[in-house]
């Protein structure tokens, strides 16, 4: 069972549980931090690839 087997209903349940646990403001902070981390990681990978060429 991989990540591709998660359906829309399961994602909604996960999001509702996360909303109940963290609250709307904290969930927004977590999403923003996660997005920044992914963006920085991709930038680092691109910089590393250009450095190797």
Residues in CB range of 28: below 8 A, 6 or more apart: none
Res. 7: pLDDT tops 70: yes
Using CA atoms, how far residue 42 sits from 9, 18, 37, 46, in Å, is 30, 26, 9, 6
The CATH number linked to 29 is 1.20.5.3310
Q: pLDDT tens digits, residue range 14-41?
A: 999 999 999 988 989 999 999 999 999 9
Q: Domain tally for the chain? A: 1
The mean per-residue pLDDT over the stretch 5-11 comes to 88
Supply the DSSP symbol for 5.
Answer: G
Residue 29 burial by Cβ neighbours in a 10 Å radius (0-12, 13-18, 19+): exposed
Q: Structural domain of residue 43, as residue ranges?
A: 3-52
């Amino acid at each position: 069972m991989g990540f591709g087997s998660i359906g829309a209903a399961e994602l909604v349940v996960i999001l509702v549980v996360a909303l109940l646990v963290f609250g709307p403001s904290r969930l927004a902070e977590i999403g923003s931090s996660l997005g920044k981390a992914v963006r920085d990681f991709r930038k680092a990978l691109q910089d590393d690839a250009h450095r190797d060429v």
